[in-house]
Structures are given as C-alpha cells and as structure tokens.
Amino acid sequence: MSRNTALSAWPLPDAAPPEPAALTPPSRSVVLVGMPGCGKSSIGRRLSVKLGLPFVDADSEIEAAAGLPITDIFTRYGEPHFRDGERRVIARLLAGPPLVLATGGGAFTDARTRRAVAESGAVAVWLRCSLPVLLRRVAGREHRPLFLNRDPREVLERLMTARHPTFAEASVIVDCTDEPPETTTRRVMEALAAHREPARMKVRLAERSYDILVGEGLVARAGARLAPVLPARRVVVVTDATVGPLHLPALRAGLDAAGIAVVATIEVPPGEASKSFSQLERVVEAALAAGADRRTTVVALGGGVVGDLAGFAAAVALRGLPFVQIPTSLLAQVDSSVGGKTGINLGLGKNLVGAFHQPLLVLADTGVLATLPPRELRAGYAEVAKHGLLQGPLWDWCEAEGARAVAGDPAALAHAVLESCRLKAGVVAADEREESAEGGRALLNLGHTFGHALEAECGYDGTLLHGEAVALGLGLAAALSARLGFCSQELPGRVISHLQELGLPARIGDLPRGFSAERLMARMRKDKKVRDGAMRFVLLRGPGEAFTTAEVPPLAVESLLRDEGAKA
C-alpha cells in the first residue's frame, strides 16, 4: 500500500490559521469582561468607535428582553434563571454581525456563557483592575443591590476571589489603572492588534477527541487553555530537572491565575534513562501521596521522555487519570506528544512496556523552543524530516527550508510543528491503536526499527539521542529501500546528505563508537513491531510513498549494516 494511497484515507484535521495582525476591518466581536467598576461600558463605547462596530451592553439587552430591571429578575426568579437568560441573550448577540459587547460582572463566570463566547469566535478581553482602583471607582454606588448595606471592600474581595480564575480564561488581558479612559482604550486596541490565536487542530477519536494548539505564549496562559477541559481544577505536574527551572514558574503562574491548584510537582532526571520502572513507581507514588484522585489531571511539562513517562503513569494510576501534554522540545511537539502512545523502556529495547492513553489537550508552545540546546533542536528536526518523507510536499520544504528550522527561525519552526501535527493527527484518527494490517499508523515508524536498535545498544545513556537515532534510521531505511529496488538509487543520497548538512548523523560510521551488526540484528528481532518472528520495516518508493513490509531478507539488512559501518 503506497503512502499516497494511505494518505487519501486520512482525514486532515481542521487547523485554524494564525489571526491577522489587527481587527481591521473588524471580522470578530469583542467581548469585554471584568469586575464592577472596571470600565466595560465606557471603554466599550470608545472601542466601538475605534473599530467601527456597534456597541451593546448585555445588561440593557437582558432588561429589554425581560421587561424587568435585572434586580427584579434576581429577586423574582433567582440567579440560575437569570444566568440562563443572560447566556441566551449573549449567544444571540454574538451569532449576528460583529459588535463590541460589554457583559455583566458575573456573566463570564458561567461556564456555558464562556463556551458560547468561545464558539462564536469572539475575542474576550478581561479589563483587570486592582482592588484599590475598583474601590475608588465604585464609590457612590452603595445604593446598588450588590453593595447595599455591605462593605464594598469585602464585596469586591469576595467577588475577585470567585471570578478572577474564570476571567483569566479570556483571550486578552489588559491591566487598567486610574489613567483616562482614552488611554485604556488605546492599550486595548494595541493588545487586540498584537493578539495571535494559536493554530488549532482536532484529533478526531470520537469521545476521546482532543485539540492540539500550536503557537507562542501557551505555557504562560496554560491555565486559560486547560480550565475548560479539566474535570477538576487540580493537577500534578511532571517535569525534569532541566525543563523545570526554565518553564515551571511560568506554568505555575498561568495555572494559579485560572484557579488551578498544583497538588504536586514531580521532577525526574533528564534523559532516556528516566523511562524506567523505578521512575514510573516514583511518579505514581508521589502523585497518590499528594492526594491525586481520578479527577486530578497529570500535566507533562517536558520533552518526549517526560511525556511518555507521565502519560504512562496517568494511564496506570488509579486505572487511569486525565492527562495533558505540554511538550517543550521540538521532537515532542512534532511527534511524541500527539497520538496517545505512552511507555517506558526495558533493557531489551525501547517502549516495550506502555499503553495507549490519549491526552485531553496538547499545548505546543513554539516560543519555548528558543531555550533548546542546538543538539536537541537538531535531534527534533529528524522527526520533521521523517514526516516530510511520509507526506511528500513537506519533504520538499525540508530540503528547501529545513536549515532555517535547525537554526531556530521561529516561523520555520512553527511551520514544521504545525505541518507535522497536521499529518500525525490525521494518521492517529484513522488508526489510533496501530491495528491496520498494512500502512496506517505503523508508517510513523519509518526509521525506527533501525533507530531503536541503535539506542538500545547505547544503553540510553545520552550518547545517542532519540532524534539522532531516527536520523540514522531514515538513512538506513532509504538505503535498504534502494537496495531492494523499491526507490531510485539517488534517494538515499538525498536523505543522507540533507541530514548530514544539518548536523545530524545519517550513517553508522558518523558515530564515534562502533556497533556489531549481529547485536543490532538481535535487537531488531526483539522490536515490538515484529510479527510471527518476522522483522517489519517501513520502506520508501519515494517521498510521500511509504509502505510497511515483512518481506525483507535478513541477510540484506545485515549486509547493509556492515556496509554502513557496523562490524560483523
């Protein structure tokens, strides 16, 4: 089965493109949320003039629809009835042409209203004010029902505690001071112009479907993204000793802003050796000792090792905990964080113990890739090259633009992540558990049969990174394909030259240590993809034309290994 034939059966996920630089001409509504006194109406009126959109006050619309003042609606029918009507009015307004909408102070605290705002495509803006500013602004409002016969400070403090975590789910946050309203309006305009929605695509797996978000700044705003999908605002964060100091403070601040409690932070040593039974036991015991229950979500903050380990811990703890991936390496963003494969290694080989456990959400923050060491960035690029060989046009992009990605160019990296996730999301949706008899998800193992054997021989000690092993595997898979007559004789040279030019090893002889062809063959015979004792390989007819086969003579594989630098 060719890769092109297989691709036609894989539905491409829906990926929203990044937003334009400004809302001119206006294409979406703007919804202002915040505490009483934050200036939603005054800023909203000025904003509507700047944007050329109508201004609507939600409370006024509700009163007109009900024929009653809001205070009377509360008194006669209670808050649940009011919130239901409020949600319906807001949804109706947002279903029409773009507008600037000022909401009541409690509107955004209703989960259904927040969902209606998000589904409408509107941009929610939180006008965030400090308590002293709010106290000055609400002075003289003591006659209003909210403050009647109450201490304004006590009322505001209570409301801020209750509402700020949900206001934090707004797309844009603007801090308001005692500055003139015109100044705040200008800053809101600047914030709207600078705002970029992340690209979003869905992995469609029925009730296990989830979104992948790709963009910058997602770690710092993780709480806003996670809150709508978490079963409870409680998480256990698993990270490693390298990633934690770099990104954990921003993640914790983002979670705290959304009222998400971190019940435990579990740090593991960096490197492939952490994918072990001993670290799995430590992670599970630490999470349960901290009080994690079945509604506590495990958040993996790190590269592929952390994602695989934390995901497997989530799969087995209490027979299954919810799970979120926040990949911080290029390799994890383009490959391991998507698809639900989790697991640990054995001495016999890589990923021999594991489970399929799909995440609730994947946040691929491309901004954090700037903190990667060059070697890690190059290693992650090997998976991009793999996806290019599977997809076809992406390989053309790799040959033309891959050097920019390896050099850390943000636009090239964003393209690499987005296109890789698009490919993998479609593959996983069509063959979640790698059960297709031919092709399907197994094609994603291109280069991995060779690569896993090389990794295992190195003992997962860091001398050979996973991505480097994949690069070697791609070169060997292309060479084997040519030897067996499946592809042109020039393809291996193209693959090997491209990877070597970007600083990756692509031939066994590129490595500083030696390997035994006999030992590598023994490793490959224990690979989890072996069926009925026969090794299975993913081979190429050309870029975009991959296929799986067990019809590979072992002598041909052994001869290739020796010719590429392995000893007998």
SS3 72: helix
From the list 445, 523, 529, 545, the catalytic residue is: 445
Please indicate whether residue 142 is annotated as part of the active site.
no
Helices (H) and strands (E) in the chain, counts: 22, 16
Q: Which residues are bridge partners to 173 per DSSP?
A: 126
In the chain, what is the straight-line distance between the N-terminal and C-terminal CA atoms, in Å? 34
Active site residue 448: yes
Residue 339: closest CA among 362, 306, 320 = 362
Pick the closest to residue 381 from 334, 341, 418 (CA basis).
334
Among 128, 452, 523, 536, which one carries the catalytic annotation? 452
383 has catalytic annotation: yes
Residue 562 neighbours by CB under 8 Å, 6+ apart: 517, 568
Catalytic choice (19, 267, 434, 457): 434
Active site residue 424: yes
Cα–Cα dist 552/561, whole Å: 14
Tokens of 13: 């996920």
341 assigned to active site: yes
CA atoms of 335 and 387, how far apart (whole Å): 9
Catalytic residue among 387, 448, 507, 536: 448
Residues 6+ apart with CB under 8 A from 157: 131
Annotated catalytic residue: which of 267, 383, 455, 545? Answer: 383
Binding residues: 37-42, 59, 83, 105, 144, 163, 304-308, 328-329, 341, 350, 383, 448, 466
**Cβ contacts of 250 within 8 Å, gap of 6 or more:** 219, 220
Please enumerate, as own/partner, the contacts of 135-141 that have beta carbons within 8 Å and a separation of 24 or more. 136/178, 137/37, 137/38, 137/39, 138/36, 138/37, 141/36, 141/37
457 annotated active-site: no
Active site includes 445? yes
Given the residues 3, 87, 441, 536, the one annotated as active site: 441
Show binding-site residues for Zn(2+). 383, 448, 466
The binding site for Mg(2+) comprises 41
452 flagged as catalytic: yes
Sequence ranges of the binding site for substrate: 59, 83, 105, 163
Task: Convert 357-394 into a string of H (helix), E (strand) and C (coil).
Answer: CCCCEEEEEHHHHHHCCHHHHHHHHHHHHHHHHHHCHH
Of the residues 3, 387, 466, 528, only one is catalytic, namely 466
State the catalytic residue, choosing from 87, 225, 341, 386: 341
Which residue ranges make up the annotated binding site for ATP?
37-42, 144
**Tokens 């000793």 label which residue?**
241
The annotated binding site for NAD(+) is made up of 304-308, 328-329, 341, 350
Q: Which residue in 149, 207, 319, 513 is the catalytic one?
A: 319
What order of strands is seen across the sheet that includes strand 234-240? 199-203, 210-215, 361-365, 323-327, 297-302, 234-240, 261-268
3 state DSSP class of 125: strand
Catalytic residues: 319, 341, 383, 424, 434, 441, 445, 448, 452, 466
